[in-house]
A and B are shown apart, each in its own frame.
Chain A
Amino acid sequence: MLTSTQVFRAGLRSGVRLQSSGATAARATSSPAGSLGYSFELTDQQKEFQQLARKFAREEMIPVAAAYDKSGEYPFPIIKKAWELGLVNGHIPQEYGGMGLPIFDSCLITEELAYACTGMQTAIEANSLGQMPVILAGNEAQKKKYLGRLTEEPLMCAYCVTEPGAGSDVAGIKTRAVKTGDEYVVNGQKMWITNGGKANWYFLLARTDSDPKCPASRAFTGFIVDADTPGIQIGRKEMNMGQRCSDTRGITFEDVRIPKENVLIAEGAGFKIAMGAFDNTRPPVAAGATGLAQRALDEATNYALERKTFGRTIAEHQAVSFLLAEMAMKVELARMAYQRSAWERDQGRKNTYYASIAKAFAGDIANQVASDAVQIFGGNGFNSEYPVEKLMRDAKIYQIYEGTAQIQRLIIAREHLGKFKK
């Protein structure tokens, strides 16, 4: 019992994810956070948040995840419950009814929810992305109105930037917003909008300067658009490879009128706002990918300890144990990466470099770990009765949305070389 406090905290911190007990080796955690300058210790409150999210994920989300994946039905009952518990809209400041959580705490919650089902978690996360431009750039009236709506009722919002012809190349979007009197008239087509069919309002990026030579930093404007504005046509729900319960749609804007009060900051400021959101939302996305990877690792490990072949459990065969070891390496590193990127942001620093590293790495390893998990399950892994094939299908999008794996590398290279050039 001498080291039970230390061991208990170590156990809690590592999650004690495997349901079996067995004394975890006592780790040296006795130094209080901060005395060595760099700490991996969670505060008691962070641990409680994490426990709440974990409990919700295990008890409410996991039991229904497979069914939602099969039907593709939007998991609104889950989202509503999560909203009631305060697990949604963590980024919204307290004066607008939100939790005002640091990005780090949001990431802890996100990882736990993603462990259960990234489809549901993405639907929740899309709220964070959609609301981030308003949090960062909205004026008091806009924040009160649109953020307040999300905290008063379980409403969704969406980030409406990507188009059929422009994803990575945001500056290439063609949706036009023309100023007419006190309004802007918007025409264009958006695609792959998460929560597109469920959102109460959108953050929309449209081109306001028709001069093709106008630089991106001045050519675009960010708007808040109510989803019931006449002229908005919501496309069909897209059938995707994974995260199937998440609602992804094309949206057409036909002469949609937006009052000038709904412009964020000013005409021409849109590009920076849209991009600035990512420094805050990439860490949680990386956390989501990590949660998926952790789930894949746990499922594969439990299976490996039960399945027998050639007279012993497959975990005792080195080929499998080495696979598991590499999966564990990747999960631990992805976690550290997203935690660092979130922490940097919470310290008030620009975290672009770390956020991109975290997102790129976590997205890549989520795919590798999920695929390895299927491999460990063997034939069973390929089958929909077992949970890992869903993980593999769900993982792919992490290399695509919120900035593709390739775009992340562009960013990292730019940031990295930029440091050297100074």
Chain B
Amino acid sequence: MSGRVLVGVKRVIDYAVKIRVKPDHTGVVTDGVKHSMNPFCEIAVEEAVKLKEKKLIQEVVAVSCGPQQSQETIRTALAMGADRGIHVEVSGKDYDSLGPLQVSKILAALAKKEEAQLVILGKQAIDDDCNQTGQMTAALLDWPQGTFASEVSLEAGKVKVVREIDGGLETIKINTPAVLTADLRLNTPRYATLPNIMKAKKKKIANMKPADLGVDLTSRLEVLRVDEPPQRQAGMKVETVEDLVGKLKEAGKV
């Protein structure tokens, strides 16, 4: 199967950063904070590049929706082996309210425009943990979906996906074109090598706006308030099992 794979990459606050809530409780502090590619998106890029290396697909296109800085995330994907990038520019208030619904509309439009065989995304982003974009994109396209993929193999006109589910592993076979979302154990993303970083400079990133794709960014959600999780309270020690059961009953837990 030859063809084009669209990979969505999201720029998120780096996983190692200690998150601080803004004093006005409208969100978290992002100014001056280190950002990087969402780890699950890295896994998605790696899978796409692997498919290309196995000559099962021809072209990997990395897409990111966001402000100017999203281009750096796309560059990282290019340095990992993606062939070209598309930056859908969303900034200001639109970016603040950008969520899975809007992104999936954009990705669906691009998947059609680029005639993609596969759309591979991370299963979720580590900032909002929505776990919705892949599923919504598939629904908008009316394509089959293989989510929480821990193993992907392409066969003629189909994809075999081993999915991580609560009960264990589920293997499904779906037709292409399809949407896949990458789970943690799908692969180990490669480092971009220095030579590839240099080569990535020559690869193209196309710019466009959501309006160019006919996508309306209006959000149906309004964030009322963002708070830190409650501080962990001190525990207490008890002497016997009876005491423990008694205390649990008192607290209404049992």
Determine whether A52 belongs to the interface, using a CB cutoff of 8 Å to chain B. Answer: yes
In the complex, per-residue mask of B54-85: 1 if CB is within 8 Å of any chain A CB, else 0: 00000000000001110010011001000000
State which of B28-36, B215-223, B243-251 sits at the interface with chain A.
B28-36
Determine whether A30 belongs to the interface, using a CB cutoff of 8 Å to chain B. Answer: no
- Chain A residues within an 8 Å CB radius of B79: 48
Partner of B191, one of A8, A21, A45, A55: A55
Interface size on A, residues (CB 8 A): 31
Partner of A86, one of B18, B32, B92, B195: B195
A100 nearest CB neighbor, chain B only: B198
Determine whether B224 belongs to the interface, using a CB cutoff of 8 Å to chain A. Answer: no
Tell me the minimal C-beta distance from B168 to chain A in angstroms: 30
Given A8-B32, A16-B32, A52-B191, the answer on whether A21 and B197 have CB atoms closer than 8 Å is: no
On whether the beta carbons of B67 and A22 are closer than 8 Å, the reply is no
Within 8 A of B (CB), among A69-113: 84-87, 90, 99
On whether the beta carbons of A4 and B67 are closer than 8 Å, the reply is yes
A17 nearest CB neighbor, chain B only: B34
On whether the beta carbons of B91 and A1 are closer than 8 Å, the reply is yes
On whether the beta carbons of B194 and A5 are closer than 8 Å, the reply is no
On whether the beta carbons of B18 and A3 are closer than 8 Å, the reply is no
Determine whether A413 belongs to the interface, using a CB cutoff of 8 Å to chain B. Answer: no
- Chain A residues within an 8 Å CB radius of B29: 21-23
Partner of B32, one of A26, A44, A45: A26
Determine whether B20 belongs to the interface, using a CB cutoff of 8 Å to chain A. Answer: yes
Tell me the minimal C-beta distance from A310 to chain B in angstroms: 23
In the complex, per-residue mask of A111-133: 1 if CB is within 8 Å of any chain B CB, else 0: 00000000000000000000000
Determine whether B201 belongs to the interface, using a CB cutoff of 8 Å to chain A. Answer: yes
Given A20-B18, A48-B75, the answer on whether A85 and B91 have CB atoms closer than 8 Å is: no
Determine whether A56 belongs to the interface, using a CB cutoff of 8 Å to chain B. Answer: yes
On whether the beta carbons of B191 and A85 are closer than 8 Å, the reply is yes
Within 8 A of B (CB), among A1-55: 1, 3-5, 7-8, 10-12, 16, 19-26, 44-45, 48-49, 52, 55
A85 nearest CB neighbor, chain B only: B193
On whether the beta carbons of A11 and B33 are closer than 8 Å, the reply is yes
Tell me the minimal C-beta distance from B194 to chain A in angstroms: 3
Tell me the minimal C-beta distance from A85 to chain B in angstroms: 5
Partner of A8, one of B19, B35, B91, B92: B35
CA distance in complex: A72, B72 (Å): 39
Given A8-B69, A20-B17, the answer on whether A3 and B31 have CB atoms closer than 8 Å is: yes
Determine whether B16 belongs to the interface, using a CB cutoff of 8 Å to chain A. Answer: yes
B91 nearest CB neighbor, chain A only: A1
On whether the beta carbons of A23 and B31 are closer than 8 Å, the reply is yes
Partner of B18, one of A7, A19, A99: A19
CA distance in complex: A405, B17 (Å): 38
On whether the beta carbons of B34 and A16 are closer than 8 Å, the reply is yes
Tell me the minimal C-beta distance from A169 to chain B in angstroms: 38
- Chain B residues within an 8 Å CB radius of A23: 29, 31-33
Tell me the minimal C-beta distance from B232 to chain A in angstroms: 16
- Chain B residues within an 8 Å CB radius of A55: 191
Tell me the minimal C-beta distance from A98 to chain B in angstroms: 10
On whether the beta carbons of A21 and B92 are closer than 8 Å, the reply is no
Tell me the minimal C-beta distance from B141 to chain A in angstroms: 31
CA distance in complex: A3, B69 (Å): 12
Best-surrounded residue of B18, B30, B31, B75 (most CB of chain A within 10 A): B31
CA distance in complex: A45, B194 (Å): 10
CA distance in complex: A223, B152 (Å): 54
- Chain A residues within an 8 Å CB radius of B91: 1
- Chain B residues within an 8 Å CB radius of A12: 34
- Chain A residues within an 8 Å CB radius of B92: 1
Determine whether B48 belongs to the interface, using a CB cutoff of 8 Å to chain A. Answer: no
A4 nearest CB neighbor, chain B only: B31
A99 nearest CB neighbor, chain B only: B194
Partner of B197, one of A4, A11, A49: A49
On whether the beta carbons of A21 and B19 are closer than 8 Å, the reply is yes
Best-surrounded residue of B35, B67, B96, B194 (most CB of chain A within 10 A): B194
Determine whether B192 belongs to the interface, using a CB cutoff of 8 Å to chain A. Answer: yes
Given A1-B92, A21-B13, A21-B17, the answer on whether A7 and B194 have CB atoms closer than 8 Å is: no
Within 8 A of A (CB), among B10-62: 13, 16-20, 29-35
CA distance in complex: A24, B197 (Å): 28
Tell me the minimal C-beta distance from B228 to chain A in angstroms: 13
Tell me the minimal C-beta distance from B57 to chain A in angstroms: 24
On whether the beta carbons of B191 and A56 are closer than 8 Å, the reply is yes
CA distance in complex: A87, B30 (Å): 31
On whether the beta carbons of B201 and A19 are closer than 8 Å, the reply is no
On whether the beta carbons of B193 and A86 are closer than 8 Å, the reply is yes
On whether the beta carbons of A48 and B67 are closer than 8 Å, the reply is no
CA distance in complex: A52, B194 (Å): 8
Partner of A45, one of B33, B34, B95, B201: B201
A-B contact pairs, 9 of them (CB 8 A): A1-B30, A7-B32, A8-B35, A12-B34, A16-B33, A45-B201, A52-B191, A52-B193, A87-B194
The 5 closest A-B CB pairs, nearest first, are: A86-B194, A24-B32, A21-B33, A20-B18, A16-B34
Given A22-B20, A23-B31, 12 more contacts at CB 8 Å?
A: A1-B92, A8-B31, A8-B69, A19-B18, A21-B17, A21-B20, A22-B32, A26-B32, A44-B75, A49-B197, A52-B192, A90-B194
